[in-house]
Chain A
Amino acid sequence: MGALDFFGGFKLTFQHLTRPTVTTSYPKAKRPKQPRQHGRHVLNRYEDGMEKCIGCELCAGVCPVNCIYVRGLDNPPDHPVSPGERYGYIYEINYLRCIHCDLCVEACPTQAITESKMFEFSFTNRSDAIYTKAELLVDDQGYPQRLPWEDWREGEAAMTGGWMRATSPNGDAAYEGVVQWTADLGAGVRAAEAGQSGVRDDEATGSKQLRNIFPKHFEPEDVPLQFRGLQGKLNEAREKMPKRKRKDKS
C-alpha cells in the first residue's frame, strides 16, 4: 500500500456518494424518536383523578438550572387534591431554562413528574415559555394536553409519562427484555428496549434504532445481523414494501 493509502480518503468520500443520507429534510420528514427521548414535562395523576404531586419541592431542589418553581400547600380536608398531606398548588417550569436532563423525574418520590417525548414547541414571548400547572397536568384519560402551539406526532401521547431509569442499560445482556420504565398512565406498559440482540418491537416502544436505519454507514462487522449479506438485502426490500403488502411477522 503506502502511496496508495493517500487515495483511501478519496475512495471513502466517493463511497459516501452512494450511501443513503443520515439526515432527513426535517419538517417534511421526521426521524423516529428514541424511547428515552426527553421532551416537555407532564404532571401525572392517579386513576381516580388525584394529583400525584405532593408539593415536596424535591424536583425544584435537584434542578440544575433552577427552572422549576413549586409551592406546596396543605390539602383542603373536604376536597383533597392529592392523596397525601400536601399538594403542589403552584407548579411552573420555565422552558427557556430547562435542559431536559430528567433529574426532576429521577428525584420525584411519587413519579408525579415525567417527561413526554414532545420537544417541538415554541413561543413568541418570555412569559409564554413558563408552563403552569394548568398546562402540565394530564387530562382525565391520563394523556398529556395537546396545546395548540405544540407539535405532537401521531401516537406519541401514548408514549408519554412512565418514569424511566436515567441510565440506559441498553446493550447489557442482563437487561434483555426487561422493562426499564413504569406504566404510562392511560396507555399501559411499553415494551422493553432492545438489548444486545437489538430485537425489539418498534411499534410498541415507539421508535426505531438508528443502527437499524443506517446499517450502510457502518463497518461490515458492526452491521446488525438482519442486514448482513443476501438475507439483509431481502429484509431491506421488505422494509421498503408498503405495510399492507408485508406478510405478518408474528
Chain B
Amino acid sequence: MNWLATVDPLFTNNGHVGLAIVLIVLAKCVLGLGLLMNSVIVMIWFERKAISDMQSRIGPQRWGPFGLLQTLADGLKLILKEDLIPSEADRTVFKLAPFLVLVPAIITFGLVPIGGEMTIAGHKVLLQVANPPMGILLLLAMSGISVYGVMLAGWSSGSKYPLLSSVRASAQMISYEAALGMTIVTVVLVTGSLSVHDIVTSQSHGIWHWNLIRLGLVPFVVFVIAITAELNRPPFDVVEAESELVGGFHTEYSSFRFAIFFLAEYMNTITMSAIIVTLFLGGPAGWAPNVPHLKWLFPIAWFLIKTIGFAFCYIWFRASLPRFRYDQLMDLGWKRLIPLSLGWMLIVAGFLVAKGWGFMMAALVLLSYSVLTRAFSLGQSREVGADSVLPIVGGRPLPGKVLREMTDEEGD
C-alpha cells in the first residue's frame, strides 16, 4: 500500500484503508473524468460562440438552448460516419495514435487541484484526482507522449500532408518543450517541491505569493506562449495550417478517431489553462467568506473562474493573431524563448541563494544576451550571403572553367 500513498494521501490513513476510502477515490476518478468530458463539450461551444461573437456572427444556435448541444450533435455525426483507413496506412500505428494523444490529456487533468480540501465521512479529501510527489514531471512526460501521438498519426497515414504536419509537430513541440520545462523549473525552484499540491499551497497566502508576481512576469509570459505552441493552437497552429496542409496530421482520419483527436485537443486546452492557473495564479486560492458548510465551494469557484479566463484568452488569441510562419515559429522558440527562460531561471536561482548571487547572475545573463544577439545578427547576415547558395541537387556541377567564363564579365 505504500506506493498508493504517494498517489493519494488518503491511502496513508494509519495503514488502514477501508471501503469508504476506496469509494471516495473511485468517485474522485469518475467525477474528474466526467468533469473533463463535460467541460470539453462546454469549451467547444464556448469557443465557437465567443469566436463568432468576435467575428460578428451568431454561431451555433440550433441544438439546445443557445446551441449548447451542438457539440453532442457533432460528436454523434462523427460516430455515425464511416471509419476509413487509407490503404497505405500502417494500420496498427494508425489505430494507436489517437489514443496516444487522448490518454496523456486525461492523465494530465488528474494532476490539477480543482479545489482545496473537503471533509467527506471523516476523511480529509484533496480535490485532486492524484497527487504524486513528482507531479510536475508527470505533466512534462505526458506532454512529451502526446507528441508521439501527433507524430505517429501523421507518419502512419501514409500520406504527404500528414507527414509534413507530423514533422512540423515534432519539431515545434520539442523545441517549445525546452522553454516550457525551464519555466517550470523556476516554479519548482521557488516552491521547493515537485508536487502540484505543494505548489498550490505555497501560493495560497494572498495575491503577492502567486508565482505570477513572485517570479516576475517573464516566466508566466514565456509559459503561456510555450503552452500555446505546445497545444498547436493559433497563432502557433502550423501543424494544422488549413491553408497549407489540408487538415494537418489528422487529414486521413475520419469518424470516431477524428473525434478523439478533436476531443484530446480541447481537453489539452482546458487542462493547460488549468495548469497555468495552478502554476502561476495560485490555483484555487482566492478570497473566501467564512460560511460554515460551504467553505469548500469557493476555491472551486475561484479555480473555475481563473480557468475560464484563460480558456477565453486562447480563443481571443485565435481571433486576433495571424498564424506564424514556420521559420518565425522556430526563431521565436529557439532564439527568444529558450534563452529568455534559461536566463530568468538562472536569475531566480541566484536570488534564492543570496541577493548578491542574484545580481551577479543578472549581470551574467545580460552579458550573455549581448553576445547572443551579436551571434544571431551574424548568423542572419550569413544566411543571405554568397555562401548560402546551395549546389544544385542531382545536377552535374559545371566545370570550373565554364563557370568562370559565365560569371567573369570583365575577365581578360
Binds A, one of B53-61, B80-88, B255-263: B53-61
- 179-225 of chain A: CB within 8 A of chain B: 217
Residue B320 contacts which of A10, A21, A23, A24 (CB distance < 8 angstroms)? A10
Scoring A residues 222 to 236 as 1 if CB is less than 8 Å from chain B, else 0, what string do you get?
Answer: 000000000000000
Q: A23 is contacted by which of B54, B57, B319, B321 (Cβ under 8 Å)?
A: B57
A13 to B55, CA, bound (A): 7
Roughly how many angstroms separate A12 CA and B57 CA in the complex, as a whole number?
A: 15
Contact B316 A21 (CB under 8 A): no
* Given A9-B321, A12-B320, A13-B319; A21-B56 close (CB under 8 Å): yes
CB distance from B228 to the nearest CB of A (A): 14
User: Is A17 located at the chain interface by the 8 A CB criterion?
Assistant: yes
Q: Which residues of A contact B316 (CB under 8 A)?
A: 10, 13-14
Give bound CA distance, A165 to B52, whole Å: 37
With a CB–CB cut-off of 8 A, which chain A residues contact B52? Answer: 21
Closest chain A residue, CB of each to CB of B56: A22
Measured in the bound complex, the distance between the Cα atoms of B61 and A14 in whole Å is: 21
- Among A13, A14, A22, A217, the residue within 8 A (CB) of B57 is A22
Interface residue count for B (Cβ, 8 Å)?
13
B56 and A19 form a contact (CB under 8 A)? yes
A-B contact count (CB 8 A): 34
B56–A217 CB distance below 8 A:
yes
User: CB within 8 A of B54: which of A13, A22, A24, A25?
Assistant: A13
| B53 adjacent to A23 (CB under 8 Å) | no
CB atoms of B61 and A21 under 8 A apart: no
Chain B min CB distance to A57 (Å)? 45
* Contact call A16/B54, Cβ cutoff below 8 A: yes
* Contact digits for A10-36, partner B, Cβ 8 Å, 1 yes 0 no: 101110110111111100000000000
Report whether B53 and A16 are in contact in the complex, using a CB–CB cutoff of 8 Å.
yes
In the complex, A217→B61 CA distance in Å?
22
Q: Which of A9, A23, A25 contacts B56 (CB 8 A)?
A: A23
Residues of chain A at interface, number, CB under 8 A: 15
Cα separation A10 to B315 with both chains bound (whole Å)? 11
**In whole angstroms, how far apart are the Cα atoms of A12 and B56 in the complex?**
12
Q: Which residues does chain B contribute within 8 Å of A14, judged by CB atoms?
A: 54, 316
Cα–Cα distance between A63 and B22 once the two chains are bound (Å): 78
- Per the bound structure, the CA–CA distance linking A24 and B61 in Å amounts to 11
Cross-chain contact B320 with A13 (CB below 8 angstroms)? yes
- Select A25's contact among B53, B58, B319, B320, beta carbons within 8 Å: B58
A residues near B50, Cβ cutoff 8 Å: 17
Chain A hits for B57, CB < 8 A:
21-23
Q: What CA separation (Å) do A195 and B373 show in the bound complex? A: 59
Q: Is the CB of A9 within 8 A of B320?
A: yes
Tell me which residues across on chain B come within 8 A of A16, comparing CB atoms.
53-56
Per a CB cutoff under 8 Å, which of A12, A21, A24, A217 touches B53?
A21
Contacts of A19 in B (CB 8 A): 56
Residue of B nearest to A15 (CB): B54
**B62 nearest in chain A by CB position:** A25
Q: Quick one: closest A residue to B321, CB to CB?
A: A9
- Binary per-residue interface labels of chain A (38-67) against chain B in the complex, 1 for a CB within 8 Å, 0 otherwise: 000000000000000000000000000000
A189 to B321 Cα, complex, angstroms: 50
Q: Nearest CB to that of A29 among chain B residues?
A: B58
Q: Which of B39-74 contact A (CB under 8 A)?
A: 50, 52-58, 61
Closest to A12 in B: B320
**Residue among B52, B56, B57 with the highest chain A CB neighbour number at 10 A:** B56
Across the interface, name the chain B residue whose C-beta is closest to A28. Answer: B61
Residue numbers in B under 8 Å from A21 (CB-CB): 52-53, 56-58
Contacts of A217 in B (CB 8 A): 56
Contact B61 A17 (CB under 8 A): no
- Which residues from A are CB-within-8-Å of B321? 9
Q: Which of B319-350 contact A (CB under 8 A)?
A: 319-321
Task: Identify 29 residue pairs between A and B in the complex whose beta-carbon atoms are under 8 Å apart, listed by A's number.
Answer: A9-B320, A9-B321, A10-B316, A10-B320, A12-B320, A13-B54, A13-B316, A13-B319, A13-B320, A14-B54, A14-B316, A16-B53, A16-B54, A17-B50, A17-B53, A17-B54, A19-B56, A21-B52, A21-B53, A21-B56, A21-B57, A22-B56, A22-B57, A23-B56, A23-B57, A23-B58, A24-B58, A25-B58, A25-B61
Known pairs A14-B316, A22-B56, A217-B56 / 5 extra A-B pairs, C-beta < 8 Å:
A10-B320, A13-B54, A17-B53, A21-B52, A23-B56
Q: Show the binding face of A for B, using Cβ within 8 Å.
A: 9-10, 12-14, 16-17, 19-25, 217
The 3 closest A-B pairs by CB, nearest first: A9-B320, A13-B319, A13-B54
